[in-house]
Amino acid sequence: MVTAVRHLGPNWYATVMGTAVVATAGAGLPGGTPGLRTVCAAVWALSLLMLTVLVAARALHWRHHGDRARAQLLDPAVAPFHGCTAMAPLAVGGATLAVGRDWIGAGAAVPLGAVLFAVGTVLALTAAVAVQYLMAVRPQADRRPAVGQASPVWLLPLVAPMVSAAVGPLLVPHVPAGQPRETLLLACMALFGVSLLAVLLMLPLVFARLVTGGPLPLALTPTLFLVLGPLGQSTTAVGNVADAAPGAVPGATAEGFSALAVLYGVPVTGFALLWLCLATAHVVRARREGMRFTMTWWAFTFPVGTCVTGAETLSRHTGLVVFGGLAVLLYGLLLAGWAAAAAGTLRGLVSGALLAAPPPALSAPRSGTARTRSGAVR
């Protein structure tokens, strides 16, 4: 077991995120499909088990392979995936509050969700600062990423606080009324701002790289779906804040949050759909050119799931059937992406390929592109 986890990277937390969002998104779909909530509760339980196992495995990794763990922090291809370390407990915490309570009761779900939210938020803010700092000051100048190597993976640590902003409002009704409740709600809006402004600084680099530098390497092409994460999650965040605002802030402020949920969410969802079409076109092209399964396929899950929850919030705040239909359509896409990623991961675990050492050509790269491939695949 100790040897098996030597090459276990933080990108594995994406499996937990992608599984948890299936439960959260499914629980919020309009229409109330019979039995769906029970299935979502089972998926939540699976995500909680996966998180527990992965945290234990990563603890073994740090204890017995500290050299490898520290190298991952300094590798520009791997370091951004530490954002997944924060988002995994947040995703499970959100699913606990949304659907896990059906099985364990609100008395257990709220404390568990609060602990996961607190841990995830601390990790999210740490990753948002530390990863950017390490990428800027690492001593190996030849390994410092260039603008032309910008990847959607760079968004991961920056979007983590946005996940906190979306999960936090679910806890607002469970804290004492008055200043504690208002403080938590406004803290979620502050987290929203931290992530949104940081993403707005980074996203132009990713888009410029795509337009001027040509298509991404085949193994990295699925990461284009990561751009959907901050778009869908920010729409979800403002919607959830608006849901929790009545009784937490003055009436006029609550009405303002409700208006923001629509005025912000609708145009951002429009851009998300445009990007979804663009990313899908790139993936179809890459698949035709021989793209095979790597762990980057998990990018088909959580980012799409945030778009589902974003559409669900717009459905609640506008009452328009079209947003409910969009949520159902995107949820079908999410299930397809999860099934493909989960099947590929299971095959890789059984064969041992996903936990094996990278080939020599990838473990000692001579270019930023090669390093990026290595970090994404492993």
Helix (H, G, I), strand (E, B) or coil at 246: strand
For 63-87, the pLDDT digits (tens) are: 888 888 888 888 888 899 999 999 9
Report the length, in residues, of the chain: 378
249 strand-pairing partners: 246
The pair of three-digit structure tokens given for residue 202, joined into one six-digit string:
């980074």
The pair of three-digit structure tokens given for residue 12, joined into one six-digit string:
């594995």
Residue ranges and CATH numbers for the domains of the chain are 10-377 (1.50.10.150)
For 155-183, the pLDDT digits (tens) are: 999 999 999 999 999 999 999 999 999 99
Q: What does the alpha-carbon distance between residue 36 and residue 29 come to, in Å, rounded to a whole number?
A: 9
Judge whether 165 and 189 are in contact, CB under 8 Å.
yes
Q: What does the alpha-carbon distance between residue 313 and residue 233 come to, in Å, rounded to a whole number?
A: 11
* pTM (two decimals): 0.92
| CB atoms near residue 230 (< 10 Å) | 27
Judge whether 282 and 215 are in contact, CB under 8 Å.
yes
Judge whether 195 and 134 are in contact, CB under 8 Å.
no
For 293-339, the pLDDT digits (tens) are: 999 999 999 999 999 999 999 999 999 999 999 999 999 999 999 99
Does residue 28 have a pLDDT over 70? yes
* pLDDT of res. 34: 84
Judge whether 93 and 20 are in contact, CB under 8 Å.
no
Q: What does the alpha-carbon distance between residue 336 and residue 216 come to, in Å, rounded to a whole number?
A: 23
Q: What does the alpha-carbon distance between residue 273 and residue 275 come to, in Å, rounded to a whole number?
A: 5
Judge whether 44 and 95 are in contact, CB under 8 Å.
yes
User: Which residues 6+ apart lie within 8 Å of 237 measured at CB?
Assistant: 162, 165, 166, 169, 188, 191, 192
